[in-house]
Structure 1
Amino acid sequence: MADNILTYLSNLEQNNNREWFHAHKAEYQDAVAQFEGLIEGLMLELGKDDSRILQFKPGELTFKIMRDTRFSHDKSPYNPAFRCHISPGGKLPVPVGDFLFISPGGRSFLGGGLFADMFKDATKMVRDYISTHTEEFTDILEEPQFKESFKVEGSSLKNVPKGYDPGNPMADYLKFKSWYIEDHFEDALLDDTDAFIEYAVKRFRMMRPFNQYLNEALKGFQMPVR
């Protein structure tokens, strides 16, 4: 059961300040331990498909709960959600993998694809690949189970960018700067950890062709060095 996770995140959302956070450090640590246990369960199952993800520890795949408020009007110091990205590259956005986002109130979801749109090289690589592998992309999107379950989303331009054919059957997707899918689920799904892991792994496997397509497009991509 993920009761510690949801309870903690709900309380943090209502008390999003440093004083409350530090006063409830023990609850935070309990929730993190529960979240990492959930990740470990997912990794053990998903690792049967790709053992490369097993090189990481669950804690290495999670994201900080602290927010960067320097350029935001919202100065709340914490993001009341737990997030992780499971892929052969760890939590880096490329290669794309399986994303888990837990936030109380029915805002949790499983995700796949490229969520980051700030890497212009990655965006160009995916656009180039879609423009030359259109039929393959169409087959993935039109597969009945995928089409019924997922919708490709992402930040987008108003027009097809210069250098790409506006008449391409996938022209709408050439406007995108990121390409991802989400599978939202209710809090109650987390009541039974084993049932949740079984559900999540099934859904992640349904996302696999989409992720594999993007990873083919992103072969050779190098993360920018700071």
Structure 2
Amino acid sequence: MLTQLTLQFLKNLEENNNREWFQANREEYDRAKASFEKLCQDILNGLSAFQDDLINTKVKDCIFRINRDIRFSKDKSPYKKYFSAAFGPGGRSSGRIDFFLQIQPDNLSTLGGGMWEPTSAHLVTFRQEIDYNPEHLKSIIDTPTFRSYYNHISGEKVKNVPKGYSADHPDIELLKYKQLFFYHQFTDKEVIAKDFAQEVIKGCAILKPYLDYQNQLFYDNA
């Protein structure tokens, strides 16, 4: 399980985001990282019970590096202010739509997944599916269980009607999405609770039908 020390390290890192401080506090980072790795291993073990393609996935391949890619960023802070991992076949580089976990202090930790920065071809496929069979997606994301748990949506919409569709289309708001990523936010108290791994696994089970829908749409039928 995570502890308050893990969150405190991330808070301190946000306030001292430079290489000198990081190297001076390397031991604290190693302890915080080890705690996050243990959490991710517990989550991966639980997910493998209902997601067969994760059975041989290594936890080290799920966790993202804490170093930021600053090559094209105006913000030159060298480190992320959170720990993160993606749980997919083979790890974070599965090439599919995976469960994404981010641990960040101040009640900003999240679990989520979905369509994020799709290719043009994927977006065309998504809209065609909504036009042809909107009930499939809505039967997943409009259930009370899904909506109550994933009550945050992150995703840009086009301002105008997408090309090829009419403004009076019954599902025009879904068709406008360029991204459709659902997430659940956790408090710091929830993150350091003993049963947090089980809570994440429960959240993944709720999210799984939506990720399956998109993976089947974009990859399994390609």
TM over 0.5: yes
Measured in 1, the distance between the counterparts of 2:170 and 2:136 equals 12
Deviation by residue 1:18-77 (Cα, 9 ceiling, x = unmatched): 111122222212211111111110011110001211222111111121222233222211
Alignment partner of 2:182: what SS?
strand
TM-score, normalized by length of structure 2?
0.90
Contact 1:65 1:82 in 2 (8 A): yes
Partner of 1:2: 2
Cα-to-partner distance string for 1:159-183 (whole Å, 9 max, x where unaligned): 2321234433322122222211110
How far is 1:142 from its partner? 2.1
Equivalent residues, number:
220
User: Hey, what does 1:156 align to over in structure 2?
Assistant: 157
Partner of 1:103: 104
Cα separation, 2, equivalents of 1:185 and 1:131: 34
Mapped to 2, the partners of 1:117 and 1:221 lie a distance apart of 20
- 1:100 is paired with a residue whose SS is strand
Name the residue aligned to 2:113.
112
CA distance in 2, matches of 1:117, 1:95: 12
Question: What SS does structure 2 have at the residue aligned with 1:163?
Answer: coil
CA contact (8 A) 1:134 1:169 kept: no
Which ranges of structure 2 fall in alignment gaps of 5 or more residues? none
- Does residue 209 (structure 1) correspond to residue 209 (structure 2)? The answer is yes
Shift of 1:132: 2.0
Is 2:87 the counterpart of 1:92?
no
Judge conservation of contact 2:61–2:90 (CA < 8 Å) in 1: no
1:92 Cα deviation from its structure 2 partner: 3.1
Q: State the identity %.
A: 33
Alignment of 1:19-168 (within 5 A): 19-88=20-89, 90-92=91-93, 94-114=95-115, 116-117=116-117, 119-151=119-151, 152-168=153-169
Q: Distance in 2 between matches of 1:39 and 1:67?
A: 20
Per-residue CA deviation, residues 102-137 of structure 1 (Å, 9 max, x unaligned), is 0001000111212x3163333333222222221111
Contact persistence 1:66–1:78 (CA under 8 A)? yes
C-alpha distance in structure 2 between counterparts of 1:122 and 1:80, whole Å:
31
Give how far 1:88 is off: 2.2
Mapped partners of 1:99, 1:79: distance in 2: 16
**4+ runs deviating over 4 angstroms:** none
Point out where structure 1 has 5 or more consecutive residues left out of the alignment: none
> In the superposition, relative to structure 1, how do residues 105 and 221 fare at CA in structure 2: closer, same or farther (>3 Å)?
farther
| Secondary structure in 2 matching 1:84 | strand
User: Offset at 1:101?
Assistant: 0.5
For residue 6 of structure 2, what is the amino acid of its counterpart?
I
Where does residue 218 of structure 2 map in the other structure?
218
User: Which amino acid is 2:79 matched to?
Assistant: Y
Structure 1 contact 160–172 (Cα < 8 Å) conserved: no
1-side partners of 2:90 and 2:155: how far apart? 22
Equivalent residue letter for 2:2: A
In the TM superposition, residue 215 of structure 1 has moved relative to its aligned partner by 1.3
Q: Please state how far the C-alpha of 1:81 moved relative to its aligned partner.
A: 0.5
Q: Is the 8 A contact 2:62 2:85 kept in 1?
A: yes
SS at match of 2:163: coil
- The amino acid that maps onto 2:155 is G
